[in-house]
A and B are shown apart, each in its own frame.
Chain A
Amino acid sequence: MTAFLAAVRRAAAAIALAAFALPALAALDANAVRKLGADDTDDKLAGIATLAESADPAAFAVLTALADDSLAVLKDGRVVIVAGTEARDAATGAPVTAGAADREAITINNRVRRALADALAVLSLVSPDRAVRLASARSLQKEASPDLLPLILKAADRETDDEIRQLLVVAAAALQLQDPDAKARLAAVKRLAGSDSPDIKLVLSTMLEKKPDGSFNEPDADVRAEIATSLRAIESRLGRLEVVGNVFSGLSLGSVLLLAALGLAITFGLMGIINMAHGEFLMIGAYATYVVQNLFRALAPRALDWYLAAAIPVAFLVAALVGVVLERSVIRWLYGRPLETLLATWGISLLLIQTVRTLFGAQNVEVANPSWMSGGIALAGGLVLPYNRIAIILFAALVLAAVWLVLNRTRLGLFVRTVTQNRAMADCVGVPTGRVDMLTFALGCGIAGLGGVALSQIGNVGPDLGQSYIVDSFMVVVLGGVGQLAGTVIAAIGLGEVNKFLEPFAGAVLAKIAVLVFIIVFIQKRPQGLFALKGRSAEA
Chain B
Amino acid sequence: MNAIATDPAIAGRPAAARAPSRFLGLYRRGGWLALGAFALITIVVLPALHLAFPAGHPLHVSSFWIALVGKIMCYAMLAVALDLVWGYAGILSLGHGLFFALGGYALGMYLMRSIGRDGVYGSLLPDFMVFLDWKAYPWYWAGTDSFLYAAALVVLVPGILAFVFGFFAFRSRIKGVYFSIITQALTFAFMLLFFRNNTGFGGNNGFTDFKRILGFTITTPETKAALFAITAATLTVTLLACRYIVTSKLGRVLTGIRDSESRLAFCGYNTLWFKLFVWTFSAVLAGVAGALYVPQVGIINPGEMSPANSIEAVIWVAVGGRGTLVGAIIGAFLVNGAKSWFTGAFPEYWLFFLGAIFVLVTLVLPRGVVGLWSQLRGRRG
Chain A residues at the B interface, C-beta cutoff of 8 Å: 274, 276, 330, 333-334, 337-344, 346-351, 353-355, 357-358, 467, 470-471, 474-475, 478, 509-510, 512-513, 516-517, 519-521, 523-525, 527
Of the four ranges (under 10, 10 to 19, 20 to 34, 35 or more), the interface on chain B belongs to: 35 or more
Which A residues are in CB contact (< 8 Å) with B359?
A: 330, 344, 347-348, 351
B115 within 8 A of A: no
Decide yes or no: A509 and B354 within 8 Å by CB, A339-B177, A471-B188 being known contacts: no
* Chain A binding surface, main DSSP class: helix
User: With the chains together, A470 CA to B184 CA distance in Å?
Assistant: 10
Q: Once bound together, how far apart are the Cα atoms of A510 and B196, in whole Å?
A: 9
The verdict on A527 contacting B355 (CB below 8 Å), with A354-B348, A509-B192 known, is no
A-B contact pairs, 9 of them (CB 8 A): A338-B177, A347-B354, A348-B359, A351-B356, A509-B193, A516-B186, A520-B182, A524-B172, A524-B174
**Which residues from B are CB-within-8-Å of A475?**
185
B355 engages A519 (CB within 8 Å): no
CB interface residues, B 293-308, toward A, < 8 Å:
307-308
Q: Knowing that A474-B181, A523-B174 touch, tell me 7 more A-B residue pairs with CB under 8 angstroms.
A: A274-B180, A276-B311, A337-B3, A344-B363, A350-B355, A523-B178, A527-B174
A251 to chain B, nearest CB (A): 23
A527 to B182, CA, bound (A): 11
Instruction: Tell whether, in the assembled complex, residue B362 and residue A527 are in contact, meaning their CB atoms are under 8 Å apart.
Output: no
The listed residue (B180, B186, B307, B315) touching A339 by CB distance below 8 A is B180
Q: Does B10 contact A (CB under 8 A)?
A: no
CA distance A450 to B186 in the complex (A): 29
Q: Is the CB of B351 within 8 A of A351?
A: yes
| Contact of B169 with A by CB under 8 A | yes
> Could you tell me the distance between the alpha carbons of A276 and B30 in the complex, rounded to whole angstroms?
40
User: Taking beta carbons and an 8 Å cutoff, which residues of B are in contact with A?
Assistant: 3, 92, 94, 165, 168-169, 171-174, 176-178, 180-182, 184-186, 188-189, 192-193, 195-196, 307-308, 311, 314-315, 318, 348, 351-352, 354-359, 361-363, 366
Chain A contacts for B308, CB-based, 8 A: 467
- Find out whether the CB atom of B177 lies under 8 angstroms from the CB atom of A342: yes
List chain A residues, Cβ under 8 A from B357: 347
Distance, CA A276 to CA B362, complexed state (A) = 14
A339 touches B92 (CB 8 A): yes
Contact indicator B188/A343 (Cβ below 8 Å): no
Q: Is there contact, CB below 8 Å, between B185 and A516?
A: yes
| Contact, CB under 8 Å: B351 / A350 | yes
Q: A343 contacts B178, CB within 8 Å?
A: no
Partner of A520, one of B186, B192, B307, B311: B186
Which residues of A lie under 8 Å from residue B177 when comparing CB positions?
274, 338-339, 342
B178 touches A527 (CB 8 A): yes
Contact of A478 among B92, B181, B307, B315 (CB under 8 A): B181
Which residues of chain A are within 8 angstroms of B363 by Cβ–Cβ distance? 330, 333-334, 344
Which residue of the partner chain A has the closest CB to B318? A343
Q: Are A513 and B178 in contact (CB under 8 A)?
A: no
| B172 and A527 within 8 A (CB) | yes
- Residues in B with CB closer than 8 Å to A516 are 185-186, 188-189
Question: Residue of B at shortest CB range from A341?
Answer: B362
Name the B residues within 8 Å of A358 (CB-CB): 348
Report the Cα distance A523→B174, complex, angstroms: 8
Bound Cα distance from A282 to B149, whole angstroms: 46
Contacts of B193 in A (CB 8 A): 509, 513
8 shortest A-B CB distances, which residue pairs? A347-B358, A350-B355, A351-B355, A354-B351, A516-B189, A347-B359, A344-B362, A347-B355
**How many Å lie between the Cα of A337 and that of B348 in the bound state?**
31
A274-B177, A339-B92 known; A517 and B189 CB under 8 Å? yes
Q: B168's closest neighbor in chain A, by CB?
A: A524
> Are B185 and A474 closer than 8 Å at their CB atoms?
yes
